[in-house]
Amino acid sequence: MNRIETRFNNLAQQGKTAFVAYITAGDPDLDTTAEIILEMDRCGVDVIECGVPFSDPVADGIVIQEAAQRALAKGASLRKILAMLKGLRDKTDVPILLFSYYNPILAYGIEQFAVDAKAAGVDGVLTVDLPPEEADFYKKCLDEQHLATVFLIAPTSPPERIKLIARISTGFVYYVSRTGVTGVRQDVEASVHGALDEIRKHTNKPIAVGFGISTPEQATEVAGYADGVVVGSAIVRRISELGNAPDTVQKVGAFVKSLVDATKGK
């Protein structure tokens, strides 16, 4: 069992919801990303989604697009991100999920990527634009390294596809709370609760909900029925506003702490 599964299991036994935080690696730079990861661990984040920047992030809204562009301009790459994560493993045990587009992994070589990701202390991978129907070899490589494979279920996914995605997802199942791309939104769609009930007919795996959750109030709402709450753009936007300021890490930590507390019902 890897760190992601263990964390969700432990939380389930305590009747608690996981808080998952996304950041784009390399924005404002990889050293700051490393510090933010350690700070988020101290703040009680359960899983860190570490975003690999891509030139054409079609699943992302403008906040994460711009973060990716800044990170790429600073020279971030999958290889450098793995090296950065490897350097963190003697400092933290926080579960780490890489969030990537498929092409950087293809260019790296899927088999080698799986080996190197494992060696870097990564616990799972979510490849946002890889359809489950095309994922056989990818999944085989990641399974061999005991890396979790997280896939997305959308509000438009029909029952047959929900079954398939739930079956091949390990660690947790990721439910996209709305049709559309990542981004900060005003409210959570009313349909999410019912959608999770529907997915639970097909799987016992934990379900995390993301895309559009931005505030502590929304986190509390979703924590009422989901096994995990994912916040991305709202955190990335904080980081982009603060940039390389001396108190960036501390301020991001304070914001993330408010989301953790809201998720845990504090």
The catalytic site residues sit at: 49, 60
User: Pick from 29, 38, 44, 59: which binds other proteins (CB under 8 A)?
Assistant: 59
Residue closer to other proteins (CB basis): 109 or 224: 109
The answer to whether 37 contacts other proteins (rule: CB under 8 A) is: no
The answer to whether 44 contacts other proteins (rule: CB under 8 A) is: no
Interface stretch with other proteins, choices 27-35, 174-182, 221-229, 249-257 (CB under 8 A) = 174-182
- What lies within 8 Å, CB to CB, of 190 at 6+ separation is none
For the bound state, the minimum distance from the C-beta of residue 102 to other proteins, rounded and expressed in Å, comes to: 5
The answer to whether 184 contacts other proteins (rule: CB under 8 A) is: no
Binding letters toward other proteins, positions 101-130, x by CB under 8 A: -xxxxxxx--------------------x-
The answer to whether 61 contacts other proteins (rule: CB under 8 A) is: yes
Binding letters toward other proteins, positions 73-92, x by CB under 8 A: ----xxx-------------
For the bound state, the minimum distance from the C-beta of residue 56 to other proteins, rounded and expressed in Å, comes to: 5
For the bound state, the minimum distance from the C-beta of residue 104 to other proteins, rounded and expressed in Å, comes to: 4
Residue with tokens 């799986």: 114
For residue 252, give the nearest of 265, 264, 263, 240 by alpha carbon.
240
For residue 85, give the nearest of 170, 3, 25 by alpha carbon.
25
Task: Report how far apart, in Å, the C-alpha atoms of 225 and of each of 54, 103, 233 are.
Answer: 32, 34, 22
The answer to whether 58 contacts other proteins (rule: CB under 8 A) is: yes
The answer to whether 145 contacts other proteins (rule: CB under 8 A) is: no
Residue closer to other proteins (CB basis): 185 or 238: 185
Residue closer to other proteins (CB basis): 22 or 138: 138
Residue with tokens 């992994």: 105
User: Pick from 1, 9, 31, 56: which binds other proteins (CB under 8 A)?
Assistant: 56
Helix 248-263, helix 30-42: angle, nearest 10: 40
Interface stretch with other proteins, choices 5-13, 27-35, 136-144, 173-181 (CB under 8 A) = 173-181
Which residues are at the interface with other proteins (CB under 8 A)? 54-59, 61, 65, 69, 72, 77-79, 102-108, 129, 131, 154, 156, 179-181
